[in-house]
Every structure is written in C-alpha cells, then in structure tokens.
C-alpha cells in the first residue's frame, strides 16, 4: 500500500482480527491485479474493526448496571468480531499470480495457462464473497447509514480492477505482432480472409462495450477475453513450444475464438445467449485452445478442379505450362505423406503454393486475351517469370517429400518440352499472322463473286512467257508436274508482238 496502515491496539477479543489484517496488508502491498479490490477490503475491514472498538469503549464508559443499549452494542460487536474473522480468513488472494497485471503464459506448459484463468476467477470470487458478507446485517448494524457507502466503494473497486485488466488486454492484442499476422494462420489462403484482424476488432468491441456497460456478473465474458489473450501472448514470447505455435496458428482455433467473442457481444447487448450459455462457450473454447487436436488431412480436390477449369482459357505461350502445372498438383494430391502432413508451417507452405498457382492461371487467362494477341510482350514476360517462380516452389515441395527423382525424371522433362513448345508455337503462329497481314495489305481487292484466285507474286516462280500454273496446282508441286517434253516447242514472242487484232492488222500493212 502507498503508506503504512495503522491499526489500533484493540483488546484480547479483537486480537485475531488485528493479526489477520496485518497479514493481509503485507500480502497485498505489491498487488498488480485486484489491487483496488484488496485494498478496499482492508479499508472496509479496518472501519468495521474500529466500529467494534467504539462499541467496546462505549460499554466501558457505562457506570452502574447494563441496560438495553449496552446489551445491543455487546451483541452487535461480538457478532461482528466473529463475522470479520471469518471474512478475513477467506481473504486469501493468490499473491504469486498478482505480480503482473497481464498473466504471464508458461511457454513450455501451454495448457497450464488455464490454471492462471482459474486463479483469477477464484480471486475475483473472493472479492465478490467479501462484498456480500459486508452487506450482512452483522456489519450494517455497526454503521447504519454509512454501510451503503462502504458497499458502493467495494463494488466500484472491483469494477475498476476488471476494467483495468480487460483494457490492458485490448491494448496488448491491438498492437502489431512480431510473428502473428493474418498470413500466419493456416488454411486462410482463399477469399482474402483476415482471421487475426477480425479477432482483434471483435475483442475491441467486447472490451469497449463491457467497459461502458459494466456488470459484475460478467466473469465468463472476462474469462473468454483472457482466453483470447493467450494465443497473442504465446506468439510474442520467446521460447514457446513450436508445436503449440503451429497448433495455435490453425483455422480451427481462430474460428472458435471469433465465434466466442461474437456470442459475448450478443450476450452483453441482448442477453442472448444466456450467461449459462456463455459459460459453456468458455469451456468449449478452453478445450479448443489447450487441447492439441490432430489436424484434418489436407485436401486439394476443389482447387485442382478449379485449376482444370481455368486452364482451358489459357492460350499460348502458356497453355502447355498450365497443363503441366495442373498435372503436377494432381501428382501432389495423391502423395500420402503430403496429405498426412501435420506441421502447420508445411501445410501453410503447400496452401500458399497452391494459391499462387491458381493466381497465375487466372492472371494468364484474364490478361493474355485474344484481343491482345502478339501485342503483349511485356505481359508475356511478366507471366513467364511468375510461372518460373511457382515451378521453383513445386520443385522444393518434391524435394522436401523425397520425390526429387520423380521431378528430375518426369516433371522436369515435361516442363521443358511444354516450355519449348509454348514458345515455338507462339513465335511461328505470330510469324504467320504477320505474314498474312502483310499480304492482305499489298494485294488488290478481288471482286466479291469472282472465282479468280490471287497468288502472292513473291511466292510464285517466274514461268516462261505464255505459261501459267494449273488452277489446282500449288507452287510446291511445279517441279514434279512439269517436264522438258511438256514445254512448248515454240516460245512466244516478246511483249511487243502481243496477239491483239489491232497489232496483227498493223503487221500486215507493213509486210513487203
């Protein structure tokens, strides 16, 4: 306590009360938790003790015979001594757990965190029991009108202790964590879920509402807030058992914390669920947090089906690699050691790689569209780098699960062939498309109903004058279809002797 508390000497009849008060004052002098409650209990007990001494002094002053007032005071102070001794004997706070405001988790024995909450609840019950005892008739008779003031001071002290605890938890939880974040939670790789942020936000809502609308009959709500505090504390403390950290990073844990806090809000605002139901919710959450249940087997079927459905929308130069990526994940999904993986860190790595694969397929399908064909070199390069990264991750997965031989003998050759074919086909088709565009740009338009077939001059060999290709003959067929015997015996004249009627007439006129 801030200053030494003086206790009157009293009498032999009050000696036990004085001795108990001295012990309790020494115990609570450095309390960090229940400090106001315990000190108010001492202050009220001293007032009762002094009232008893006044009653004894009043009787001592009486001369002559005892009358009604003396008998009444004698009865009141003797009853009060017995009641005060009983009250102080039950005032046994756990001093060991009062050394810090926030509970300190036992990092090597995580389930023992529940004992800390049980001790807090027991100490709080002590305060409530003392308040109820002070409200008894044995003490009220000593004070009359002052008794209500003392009771109010006790309840206010308990309220302040409760608020200080939950507000300190809110402050601790709301701080950015060194190792705990939304990304650290397993199985939240789809849908942009924010498990840690959601629990932080809901904790703040519960604490704020409880602080503004306090009721002393909310111990189960405060116990749930204490439960939520421990995963945050265990992640921040050095030396926490790694297996427990992996378990506390599972989806199951954070789902249950969120549901419990949501029930607390509804209980505080609408009394539904009931106080009994909140108590059950606390016990269920405690079991979830501190009973390391086996994690369910991994399953990739849903995501692989989605990858199959996306792959059909991916064009060259990535359609081949997309198919290999889907086949690779199908291979992973059948590996027994991967499906039975229990280490949360590895489960998280697998899900992260799967999420990245889905993201790349979606990007390739949505960004590399036909309208941008052959005009998206920068985008093709960026997507190619992403494919390289995801296949590096897949290689690490194969190596970790002792499938390195399968990667080198099966997956790697398939990937190399697919990459080569992707690039080769992309380049060849692009070349053909640009060649066709160039031809259309220099060839005169053909009448709509004409059957005349346009031949690219650049692709047509120079034939002897007067010859033409057969209508169904391709350029490549010319050498095999044309022989020396088939060439005409008389070569046509030069273009000057073009066989037109006007020129033939002109030649006849000039002939000698």
Based on the fold, state whether residues 35 and 148 are members of the same structural domain.
yes
For 225-262, give the DSSP string.
HHHHHHHHHHHHSTT--HHHHHHHTSHHHHHHHHHHHH
Nearest-angstrom CA–CA distance, 181 and 179: 7
Q: Is residue 264 part of a domain?
A: yes
At residue 487, the pLDDT reads 42
Q: Is residue 482 part of a domain?
A: no
At residue 85, the pLDDT reads 95
Based on the fold, state whether residues 305 and 347 are members of the same structural domain.
yes
CA angle 61–64–65, rounded 5-degree value = 105
Nearest-angstrom CA–CA distance, 165 and 168: 5
Q: pLDDT (tens digit, 9 = 90+) per residue, 324-367?
A: 888 888 888 888 888 877 776 787 788 888 888 888 888 888 87
Q: pTM for this structure?
A: 0.66
Token pair listed for 218: 């909310």
Which of 52, 70, 75, 7 has its CA nearest to residue 142? 52
Q: Is residue 88 part of a domain?
A: yes
Q: Which of 263, 293, 323 is the last residue of a domain?
A: 293
Based on the fold, state whether residues 223 and 137 are members of the same structural domain.
no
Based on the fold, state whether residues 332 and 376 are members of the same structural domain.
yes
At residue 433, the pLDDT reads 73
Based on the fold, state whether residues 317 and 431 are members of the same structural domain.
yes
**Domain span including residue 341:** 301-437
Tokens 């009250």 — which residue?
Answer: 87
Q: Is residue 477 part of a domain?
A: no
Q: Which of 416, 437, 458 is the last residue of a domain?
A: 437
Q: Is residue 163 part of a domain?
A: no
As for how many domains the chain has, the answer is 3
Let me know if 510 is exposed, middle or buried by CB neighbors in 10 A (0-12, 13-18, 19+). Answer: exposed
Q: Is residue 494 part of a domain?
A: no
Based on the fold, state whether residues 98 and 142 are members of the same structural domain.
yes
Nearest-angstrom CA–CA distance, 5 and 97: 23
Asked if residues 106 and 113 have their Cβ atoms less than 8 Å apart, the reply is yes
b/e map 425-450, b = 16+ CB within 10 Å: ebeeeeeeeeeeeeeeeeeeeeeeee
Based on the fold, state whether residues 189 and 215 are members of the same structural domain.
yes
Q: Which of 232, 266, 293 is the last residue of a domain?
A: 293
Based on the fold, state whether residues 345 and 225 are members of the same structural domain.
no
Based on the fold, state whether residues 104 and 219 are members of the same structural domain.
no
Based on the fold, state whether residues 14 and 141 are members of the same structural domain.
yes
Q: Is residue 490 part of a domain?
A: no
Tokens 């005169």 — which residue?
Answer: 444
At residue 449, the pLDDT reads 52
Based on the fold, state whether residues 144 and 234 are members of the same structural domain.
no
Q: Is residue 318 part of a domain?
A: yes
At residue 492, the pLDDT reads 45
Based on the fold, state whether residues 400 and 372 are members of the same structural domain.
yes
Q: pLDDT (tens digit, 9 = 90+) per residue, 414-473?
A: 889 888 888 888 888 778 777 766 777 665 555 555 444 444 444 445 544 454 445 444
**Low pLDDT (below 50) residues in the chain:** 1, 371, 450-460, 463-465, 467-469, 471-512
Nearest-angstrom CA–CA distance, 364 and 358: 10
């Amino acid at each position: 306590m801030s200053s030494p508390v003086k206790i009157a000497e009293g009498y032999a009849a009050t000696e036990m009360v004085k001795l108990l008060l001295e012990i309790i004052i020494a115990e609570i002098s450095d309390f960090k938790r229940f400090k106001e409650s315990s000190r108010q209990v001492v202050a009220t007990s001293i007032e009762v003790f002094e009232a008893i001494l006044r009653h004894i002094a009043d009787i001592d002053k009486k001369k002559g015979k005892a009358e009604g007032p003396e008998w009444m005071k004698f009865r009141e102070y003797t009853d009060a001594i017995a009641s005060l001794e009983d009250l102080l004997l039950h005032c046994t706070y756990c001093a060991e757990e009062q050394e810090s405001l926030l509970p300190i988790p036992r990092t090597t024995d995580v389930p023992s965190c529940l004992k800390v909450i049980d001790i807090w609840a027991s100490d709080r019950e002590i305060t409530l029991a003392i308040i109820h005892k002070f409200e008894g008739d044995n003490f009220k008779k000593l004070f009359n009108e002052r008794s209500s003031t003392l009771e109010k001071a006790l309840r206010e002290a308990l309220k302040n202790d409760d608020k200080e605890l939950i507000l300190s938890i809110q402050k601790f939880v709301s701080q950015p964590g060194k190792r705990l974040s939304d990304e650290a939670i397993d199985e939240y790789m789809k849908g942009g879920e924010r498990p840690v942020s959601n629990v932080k936000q809901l904790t703040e809502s519960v604490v704020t509402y409880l602080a503004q609308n306090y009721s002393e009959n909310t111990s189960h709500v405060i116990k749930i807030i204490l439960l939520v505090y421990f995963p945050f504390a265990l992640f921040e403390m050095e030396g926490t058992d790694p297996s427990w950290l992996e378990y506390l990073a599972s989806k199951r844990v954070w789902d249950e914390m969120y549901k419990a806090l949501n029930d607390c809000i509804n209980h505080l605002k609408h009394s539904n669920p009931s106080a009994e139901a909140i108590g059950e919710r606390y016990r269920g959450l405690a079991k979830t947090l501190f009973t390391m249940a086996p994690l369910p087997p991994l399953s990739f079927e849903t995501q692989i089906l989605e990858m199959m459905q996306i792959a059909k929308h991916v064009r060259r130069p990535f359609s081949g690699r997309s198919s290999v990526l889907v086949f690779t994940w199908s291979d992973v999904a059948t590996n027994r050691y991967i499906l039975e993986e229990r280490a949360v860190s590895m489960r998280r790595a697998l899900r992260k790689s799967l999420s990245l694969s889905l993201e790349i397929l979606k990007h390739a399908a949505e960004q590399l569209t036909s309208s941008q064909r052959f005009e998206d070199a920068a985008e093709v390069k960026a997507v190619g780098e992403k494919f390289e990264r995801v296949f590096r991750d897949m290689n690490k997965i194969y190596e970790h699960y002792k499938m390195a031989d399968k990667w080198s003998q099966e997956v790697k050759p398939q990937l190399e062939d697919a990459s080569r074919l992707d690039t080769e086909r992309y380049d060849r088709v692009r070349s053909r498309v640009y060649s066709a565009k160039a031809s259309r740009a220099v060839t005169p338009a053909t009448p709509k109903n004409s059957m005349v077939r346009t031949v690219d001059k650049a692709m047509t060999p120079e034939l002897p004058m007067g010859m033409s290709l057969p209508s169904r003959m391709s350029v490549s067929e010319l050498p095999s279809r044309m022989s020396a015997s088939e060439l005409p015996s008389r070569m046509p004249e030069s273009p000057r002797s073009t066989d037109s009627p006007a020129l033939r007439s002109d030649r006849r006129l000039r002939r000698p």
